[in-house]
Amino acid sequence: MNDNDTFVACSKCFSYQEVTENGMKFLSSFKSSNRPKEVCFELGQSIRVNGTTYTITGITQRNDGTNLRINWREYVLNDGIQERFLNEYNGNWQLVWALNEKSPLTGNYNLFQKYYQDVNWAVGGFNFDVVDTNRIYSKEYISPPQILIEEVYRTSNGKESNSEWYEGEYVDNNEIYQEYLSLGNSTTFPSKIGVGATEPYKSQFYYKDALKMSLIAFAVILTIQLYFMATSPTTTVFRETFSVADLKIDSTSTNLTSAKPIVSKSFSIDKTGKIEIELTSGVDNSWLESNITMVNESTLQELPIVIGNEFYHGYEGGEKWTEGSTSASKDYSEVPAGKYHLLIETTTPATNGGTYEVKLQTGGIYWINIFIMLCLIVIVPLIKYFQEYNFEKERWADSDYSPYVTEEDE
């Protein structure tokens, strides 16, 4: 018990008394059965919190006056100079101390909770009436890892006195656990549940870091692709239109087909790299397919290509529908430089007419590769964003003022 303590809760008989000039005055008593199992320290024990060693001079269990299921423990600490409070709720800890300022709030703090307090168990000495706390209306504002608490005393007729302000900071659960282990207490240490109101998000790599790195990677990729676009522009090296009328009836079917492969004129690919071959036809509710062999005239190396068009349309249920396309293309990478020609064999239903065109281009870039790379570089920022988002959402789970609650959740 400290010299300035004016109220005492006995740890043996649980009586609650006031210290007066005439001696001890009995006020009430706490039920021994109300002692919470989460209390893991004892009166008189010394613990080190955030670098300072304190002696525990009082312990209370407090409840939300409107929701008794919400309760927390408060240890009164004294280092011989100042008094502080170590609060524990669901295994989450924070150190709180009184302020002399009237209103230290800034725009960095957000309202977290409002409540009346109720104390259903206490032991030790106190310089305030702990059973009168049900008249204290508390407002908590958080800016993790900091907290500001405004306490307004309301009299029985509803009048409010001047506010008292307290400041607090998050204390790591493991730090308190190490103190608990060093004391060898036989009590149960409370398990950590959820995210504490002032618990900071701890990571070696944050969303902002991931976003910054992704933006740098995007700029590098974009620069590289622009360079390749400038140094390797798309060039058409072969383009020719053929008539369906030149095809013959296949003796084994009703389709038109090439009597023999069409041998195209020669063309050159100046440097090894990407090529794109495109087939365009006038198919209408029909199909056309070409088997194209690209032959290197120096090495006789062949690149077989199967490409086709199919396009259908009509009306169903009064609505127009379409399927397929009159053009198709295929890409191939690392095609060696050299002189080439094409062998073209085409098949299409006998009902078709018109023409079909084969075009071959060199150079350019793989846009699909750029898309895949961009998807990959945004994955990490997205993962980090949702990790931090879910952490904050869990922090506000017990608050009536959560910014993460939508109308659908209510």
Model pLDDT for residues 272-293, shown as the tens digit of each residue = 988 999 999 999 999 999 999 9
Q: What is the DSSP letter of 369?
A: H
Residue 134 pLDDT exceeds 70 = no
Count Cα atoms within 13 angstroms, Cβ side, for 6.
7
Mean pLDDT for 125-151 is 88
Mean pLDDT for 224-243 is 86
* Residue 121 exposed, middle or buried by CB count within 10 Å (0-12, 13-18, 19+): buried
Dihedral (Cα; 193, 198, 199, 204), 10-degree rounding: 160
Model pLDDT for residues 71-93, shown as the tens digit of each residue = 999 999 999 888 999 999 999 99
The reported pLDDT for the residue numbered 408 is: 53
Residue 68 pLDDT exceeds 80 = no
Backbone angle region of 273, left / alpha / beta, with phi > 0 → left and psi within -120 to 50 → alpha: left
Q: What domains does the chain contain, in order, with CATH numbers? A: 7-183 (no CATH), 204-232+369-410 (no CATH), 239-364 (2.60.120)
Dihedral (Cα; 393, 141, 161, 153), 10-degree rounding: 40
The reported pLDDT for the residue numbered 375 is: 86
* Residue predicted with more confidence, 371 or 241: 241
The reported pLDDT for the residue numbered 275 is: 93
The reported pLDDT for the residue numbered 343 is: 97
* Residue 254 exposed, middle or buried by CB count within 10 Å (0-12, 13-18, 19+): exposed
Q: What CA–CA distances, in Å, run from 356 to 122, 279, 282?
A: 92, 7, 7
Residue 132 pLDDT exceeds 90 = no
Distance CA 128, CA 122 (A): 12
* Residue predicted with more confidence, 409 or 256: 256
Model pLDDT for residues 35-58, shown as the tens digit of each residue = 888 999 999 999 999 999 999 999
The reported pLDDT for the residue numbered 158 is: 67
Residue 328 pLDDT exceeds 80 = yes
The reported pLDDT for the residue numbered 294 is: 97
Identify the band that residue 409 occupies on the pLDDT scale cut at 50, 70 and 90. low
The reported pLDDT for the residue numbered 339 is: 97
Find which of 8-17, 61-70, 304-313 is predicted with most confidence, using mean pLDDT: 304-313
Mean pLDDT for 96-109 is 84
Mean pLDDT for 101-121 is 86
The reported pLDDT for the residue numbered 31 is: 86
The reported pLDDT for the residue numbered 189 is: 96
Identify the band that residue 406 occupies on the pLDDT scale cut at 50, 70 and 90. low
Residue 5 pLDDT exceeds 60 = yes
Q: Which long-range contacts (CB under 8 A, 24 or more apart) does 143-146 make?
A: 143/108, 143/109, 143/110, 144/170, 144/197, 144/198, 144/199, 144/200, 144/201, 144/395, 145/169, 145/170, 145/198, 145/199, 145/200, 146/109, 146/170, 146/198
Identify the band that residue 302 occupies on the pLDDT scale cut at 50, 70 and 90. very high
Model pLDDT for residues 15-35, shown as the tens digit of each residue = 999 888 888 888 888 888 888
pLDDT over 90, % of the chain: 61
Model pLDDT for residues 142-201, shown as the tens digit of each residue = 999 999 999 888 776 767 777 889 999 999 999 999 999 999 999 999 999 999 999 999
Q: What is the mean pLDDT of the chain?
A: 90
